Chains A and B, each alone.
Chain A
Amino acid sequence: MKPKSRVVRKAKEAGFVIIFLAGIGVALGVLGVLLASLIVTAAPYLTPTLITNYANYQDPTRAGYAAAIAGTLWILSLTLIFSLPLGIGAAIYLEEYSHGGRISRILQAGVSNLAGVPSVVFGLLGLLVFVRGLHLGAVVLAGALTLTILVFPYVVITAREAIRAVPQSIRDAALAMGATKWQAIRRQVLPAAAPGLLTASILAAARTIGETAPLIVIGAVVLQTFLPYGPDSPFVALPVQIYAYIDLPGPEWQGVSAAGMIVLLLILFAFNAVAIVGRNRMQRMRW
């Protein structure tokens, strides 16, 4: 048998490390270039009127996102109101009550299958069931219900992680003192999991804000010159409005859409910042 050259082995290692770096390198590079080009393109259009003007397809300097931002906030609020209790409740059941039998495996499969469904399909579901079937029309409520179903599995998965991270000793201690299962959960486990649940909720919110395709399919309008007046109001959402501007030819319209994306990213960034700060504060309060 011939011994392998140590030098060759070392060289192989070095070579592959460089390849491994490529993965990270590409991700970082793209992120950097993306943000830079976004900012450069959007720069001339980042004025306050961007937020206060309504949509305008003739004059790029007068184009804005007012209705779109309001629509997004409306839909976001309703979606969170529906999906968070539902998703966290499901997570509690799956983590605390189910015992790994046949039924719980089916439930879990249901969640993970739902998570894998493409977003347009939720749009079709919403179109058939909420817009046409329940005769809601293409309104805020329909959009919120559709996005609720879409974001539900995501809430379940992240909330489960948060609940699972709570040490078992906390549950045992509560039960040993005579608490019922629900009392133990409500008074000990959930408060302990609260920072993680908060983070999970904010992640769900971030996910919702960026969804475009389902809202397009449902029928978000793109020329709306008023703010949504309620759950029964027609609506446009920020990403949908951005898409409408992208379709228009010419660099000025690219600038308008880029500006909209900056607004969108800033909102997302704000949410994530709140997630970090909120989690830190809750942890400091507790321990």
Chain B
Amino acid sequence: MLRSLVKRAAPKAVVPEPEVLQVPPPLTLVDVEDPAIESRNLSVWYARKHAIREVNLKIQRKGITAIIGPSGCGKSTYLRAINRMNDTIRNCRTTGQLLVESEDVYGPNVDPVLLRRKVGLIFQKPNPFPKTVYRNVAFGIQLHYRATKEELDRVVEAALRQANLWDEVKDRLDDSALGLSGGQQQRLCIARALAIHPEMLLMDEPCSALDPVATAKIEDLMFELKKVMTIVIVTHNMQQAARIADHTAFLYLGKLVEYNVTRELFERPTQELTENYITGRFG
């Protein structure tokens, strides 16, 4: 009786709250016309913690936009706000507007389930389902569509090809996805997301758990994908942002500090905070 009492009797650690410093007003030096994604005064709270503070950002259609910043600055939170994944977290509140294709996804009539069909998300740690390779890719399709076996086979193959994974797994479609290497698993997750034909792809530090070879493969993949879709990538690896992103935004403690064409941001940062971060003085 009351076994949960035993577990609750354990001592708990106490974690202190981080301090808040002063952040200069944001500097947006690039004008994005016809943005695919736009946030207006977007704020996100976790219980009492103000994780994203009134961020205004326009993300270009087709191409790669990177969001960089030190740990805990809210980059992942911002990303997850775009496809309303933050809804799954208790005590998370969002204010402001977030427009995807000019429609506010936090508006009254928006269905997050359909939103997530349009906006895919790749996680930091590859998270394939404990199913076969085939069923991983087919999962999203079977959620949203009724398809015959042949149709399913076609879409699965197309998605795996698009993710540059087909040749490596075509003989292993019925093996467990968990038997793939880390890089392959991440490309599988990308294939899984691509299978439902999203218009945009959000990537949350997709390479941070991978080795350099796997990382290179995924960056190559991103170069191909950016020709046809909007990609937003969060990364703590500045070299990566410099390599692949068209635009880069620097976030600090939940606020946008500077947003510019990537090359300009890295070679001629305007804010002192940006320069300190890029040169490695903190973060």
Residues in A lying within 8 Å of B, measured CB to CB: 1-4, 6, 9, 158, 161-162, 165-167, 192-193, 195-196, 198-200, 203, 206-207, 268, 272, 275-276, 279, 282-283, 286-287
Contacts and interface: CB of A to CB of B under 8 A. Distances in A.
A84 to B, nearest CB: 14
Given A1-B146, A1-B151, A272 B11 contact: no
B15 interface: no
B2 interface: yes
A200 B6 CA distance: 6
Nearest to A275: B5
Nearest to B155: A1
Given A158-B6, A162-B9, A196-B10, A272 B146 contact: no
B6 A167 contact: no
A287 B10 CA distance: 11
B151 A275 contact: no
Given A1-B147, A1-B155, A167 B1 contact: no
Classify chain B: how many residues form its interface, as a range.
20 to 34
A283 B12 CA distance: 10
Given A1-B141, A1-B145, A1-B151, A286 B5 contact: no
Most buried by B among A1, A3, A203, A279: A1
Contacts of A276: 2, 5
B3 interface: yes
Interface string B111-152: 101100000000000000000000000000101111100010
Interface of B: 1-3, 5-11, 13, 111, 113-114, 141, 143-147, 151, 155
A3 B118 CA distance: 14
Contact of B6 (A6, A162, A282): A162
Given A203-B3, A272-B1, A275-B2, A3 B145 contact: yes
A203 B11 contact: no
B11 A192 contact: yes
A165 B7 contact: yes
Contacts of A283: 9, 11
A200 B4 CA distance: 10
Nearest to B141: A1
12 contacts: A1-B146, A4-B143, A158-B3, A166-B11, A198-B9, A199-B2, A203-B5, A206-B1, A268-B1, A276-B2, A283-B9, A286-B11
Contacts of A195: 9-10
A268 B145 CA distance: 54
Contacts of B11: 166-167, 192, 283, 286-287
A4 B145 CA distance: 5
Contacts of B114: 6
B10 A166 contact: yes
A282 B8 CA distance: 12
Contact of B7 (A1, A161, A206, A268): A161
Contact of A196 (B6, B13, B111): B6
Contacts of A206: 1
A286 B146 CA distance: 59
B78 to A, nearest CB: 27
Given A4-B145, A167-B11, A203-B6, 7 more contacts: A6-B113, A9-B113, A161-B6, A196-B7, A199-B9, A268-B1, A283-B11
A279 B151 CA distance: 60
Contacts of B1: 203, 206-207, 268, 272
Contacts of A192: 11
Contact of A272 (B2, B8, B144): B2
